[in-house]
Amino acid sequence: MSSSPKPLNYPLPRKSDQIDDYHGTLVADPYRWLEDPNSEETKAWIEAENQITFAYLGEVAVREKIQQRLTKLWDYEKYGIPFKEGENYFYFKNNGLQNQSVLYTLKSLDSEPRVLLDPNKLSADGTVALSGLAISDNGKLLAYGLSTAGSDWQEWKVLDVKTGEELPDHLNWIKFSGASWTNDNQGFFYSRYDEPNAKTKLEDANYYQKLYYHRLGTAQSEDILIYQRLDEKEWGFRGDVTEDGCYLIISVWLGTDSRNLVFYKDLTQPNAEVVELISQFEANYSFIEHDETVFYFRTDLDAPRGRVIAIDIARPDKEAWREVIPQNQATLESVNFLNNQLICDYLQDAHSQIKIFDLNGTFIQDVELPGLGSVNGFDGKRYDTETFYSFTSFTTPVTIYRYNLITGESELFRQPNVDFNPEDYETKQVFYQSKDGTQVPMFITHKKGIKLNGNNPTCLYAYGGFNISLTPNFSVNILVWMEMGGIYASANLRGGGEYGEEWHQAGMKEKKQNVFDDFIAAAEWLIANNYTRPAKLAIAGGSNGGLLVGACMTQRPELFGAALPAVGVMDMLRFHKFTIGWAWTAEYGSPDKREEFPPLYAYSPLHNLKPGTAYPATLITTADHDDRVVPAHSFKFAATLQAAHNGNAPVLIRIETKAGHGAGKPTTKIIEEAADRWAFLVRTLDIDTEL
C-alpha cells in the first residue's frame, strides 16, 4: 500500500520561451500553451496525464471497496426544505443515487407529491443540472435555469406548474443571475451578458452584465433593458421584486467584493426611473423587506459582524438612518421577515444560532436547535406563521424541521435514514494559535475511542476566503474516511466570514499570507497534540481552498504527507484574464498594479514550485468544463510540479470530463472522484484499512 518505489514516468510537455515583465520582474511561463483547452497538444497532454493517474489509482486494491461503500451510504433519501408559493408547496428530493435531485409539488403537506421537473431526464449521464428557479407569486409558473456539463452559463425556460407543459420562452447567455417575477405573474427580471464567442465562451472574460425584464410569450430579443452601465464594465446586477410587488430592488455587485450598491425602481409608477439609494461601495447591504417607504437592510456598515438598519426612502440621508438591531458578539449571516418579525441567523464560533426580534429590534426568543451545527431555511412570506428549516452537523445528515412561529416549537418533518450510527463518532471544537497569536477555531471529528498516538491518518480541510463561512456539515465522503480510521479536521481560517468582515479582511489582498499561516498552524497543532504526524497528514481544499493547498504545500512541503488541491486558483499572475477571474481582484489584489504584485508573486503556487524539491504526494483535480476557475490553473501547476519534483511520492492530476467547477455535478461523478481521493490517500499515506 505504500508509495511507488521509483518516480512515475510523467509526460514531458513542450516548454516555450514565454517570459512576461511584471513591473520589472521577469517571469517565465513555459506552459502558457496549456491555457488553450481545445488545442490538440493540450488534449494529448490531458489524455497522457489521465492514463498515468487512473493506472495508479487502479492499482489500489481497496479502491473498489471504497466506491462500493460510498455508493451504499449515498443511497438514502435526501429532502430539501419545503417552500410555498400561491396554493402550492414545492421541495426537492433525491431517492438516493439519482444524479440530480427532482423538484416536486403538492397542494398540502399530506397530499400526494407530483414530479414537476426531473433534471435526470434532460441528459443520459446527468450532466445537465438545474441551476436556478423562480416560482411566480400565484404558484402557477416556474422559471428555471439549466447548466450543461457544470458550466456557469445558463439557459432559462418556463413551465406551467399545473400541466407540466413547457412554454415557448427560452432565454440564453445568462450567468450569475437568478430570476424574480412581477406580482402580476406576467414576467420576470434577470441579468445576462452579450452573446459570447462560441469557441472561447469557457475562457473569455465576462463584462457588461445587463438587467432585463422578460414578458411571457415574447422573444428574448424583445426583452426590456432595465439597467446597464456602459461606463462600468465590471458591475453586475441582481433584481429582486419586493413581496408586495411595489419595488424592484437592484443590488449592484463588483466582482467578489462583499460591498455593494443598492438602487430601486418603483414598479407602481409607469416609466419610473431607477433611483440610486446607496451609491458608494462602502459596505454590504442585504435588503430584507419594507414597510411603505421604510426599507430594512442587514449591513456591516460600522458593524463588521452585522446589524439591521432601517432607511426611509422619503428621507434617504444617512443621518436619518435608524438602527433596529445592533451588532452583538455573534456574526449576523441573514435575516428573514416572517410572522411580522425579524428571524436572524447568527454564527457563534462557526455554528448556527437563530434569534427572533420584533420590528423595533426588541429580542423575543431563541429558536432551540438540536445541537451545534448548521441551519438553513426560515424562508417564507411576511405574515406566515409556519416555516421550515434544515439542521446538519458532521454526524447528523440534513434533517428537516417544521417551525411554528406562534408557539415557538420545532417538529421533526423529514429525517433521513443513513446506514451508520452517529453515536460511534464525536466532534469537538478546539481553538489554536496562529503564527501571529490569533486564535483560530477548528472542528475535529472521528470515531470515538481513537488513540492519540500520532499515527492517525488525518485530512485537514479549509477554505479561507471570500467571506465564506465553513460550518458543520454532514458528508458521506467524510463518513467513509472516518470509517477507514481517518480523522477529519475543518479549520475556520481568516479570510472567511465566521467572525464578520474584520475576519474576512484579515485574510485578503496583502494579508492573504495570514490564511496560509492559519492553515499551517492547524497542521502543526494536530501534530503537536498527537493526532497525527506529517507522513499521515493530508491537506485538502477546493477553488480558493485549492489555492490554499497549493500555497501551503509549496511553502512547507515537509509538513504534509499528501495534498489534494481541487479546481484551485494556482496562477496568481493571470487569474484575472479568464471568465470571471477579474472579479477576484477585490479579494486577492491585481498583478497589474505595481503595489499589489509583490504579495501575489510571493505566494502564487505556480510560481513558488522549486526544482529539486521533494513535494508531498499530490492529486490535483479539475474538470474540462470549469469556466469559474479555468482548468489551465491546474494544468500548468501539474506540469510545473512534475518537472520540479524530486522524490518518489506521486504527483498526479485527475481531469474530469463533461464537468465544471462543482455545482450540479452528477452523483456518479461525485462518488467516483471521492473514491479516487481516498484510494490515493490509502496508498500514499500507507493506511491499513478494511472496509
Q: What is the pLDDT of residue 62?
A: 96
If you ran DSSP here, which 8-state letter would residue 512 be given?
T
Q: What is the pLDDT of residue 26?
A: 98
Active site residue 543: yes
pLDDT tens-place string over residues 473-486 = 999 999 999 999 99
- What confidence tier does 3 reach under pLDDT thresholds 50, 70, 90? very low
- What confidence tier does 6 reach under pLDDT thresholds 50, 70, 90? low
Q: What is the pLDDT of residue 4?
A: 45
- What confidence tier does 658 reach under pLDDT thresholds 50, 70, 90? low
pLDDT tens-place string over residues 166-200 = 999 999 999 989 999 999 999 999 999 998 887 87
Q: Count CB neighbours of 321 within 10 A.
A: 16
Q: Which residue has the higher pLDDT, 234 or 628?
A: 234
- Catalytic-labelled residue, pool 351, 625, 645, 661: 661
Q: What average pLDDT score do residues 422-437 get?
A: 97
- What confidence tier does 626 reach under pLDDT thresholds 50, 70, 90? low
| 685 Cβ contact list (under 8 Å, min separation 6) | 457, 535, 536, 538, 561, 562, 617
- Asked if 58 contacts 645 with a C-beta cutoff of 8 angstroms, the reply is no
Could you give the 3-state DSSP secondary structure of residue 558?
helix
pLDDT tens-place string over residues 595-616 = 999 999 999 999 999 999 999 9
- CA dist 649 and 5 (Å) reads 8
Could you give the 3-state DSSP secondary structure of residue 405?
coil
Strand-pairing partners, residue 134, are: 143
pLDDT higher than 90, residue 656: no
pLDDT tens-place string over residues 225-279 = 999 999 999 999 999 999 999 999 999 998 778 899 999 999 999 899 999 999 9
- Asked if 572 contacts 601 with a C-beta cutoff of 8 angstroms, the reply is yes
- CA dist 161 and 183 (Å) reads 16
pLDDT higher than 60, residue 301: yes
Residue reference for cell 512576461? 20
Active site residue 661: yes
Strand-pairing partners, residue 600, are: none
**Angle between helix 544-555 and helix 513-528 axes, rounded to 10 deg:** 70
**Angle between helix 667-684 and helix 40-58 axes, rounded to 10 deg:** 60
List, edge to edge, every strand of the sheet that includes 294-299: 285-291, 294-299, 307-312, 322-325
- What confidence tier does 2 reach under pLDDT thresholds 50, 70, 90? very low
* Average pLDDT for the chain: 94
Q: What average pLDDT score do residues 492-500 get?
A: 97
- Catalytic-labelled residue, pool 543, 590, 604, 634: 543
Q: What average pLDDT score do residues 301-316 get?
A: 97
| CA-wise closest residue to 151 among 657, 543, 660, 667 | 660
Q: What average pLDDT score do residues 216-229 get?
A: 97
Q: Count CB neighbours of 177 within 10 A.
A: 23
Q: What is the pLDDT of residue 1?
A: 40
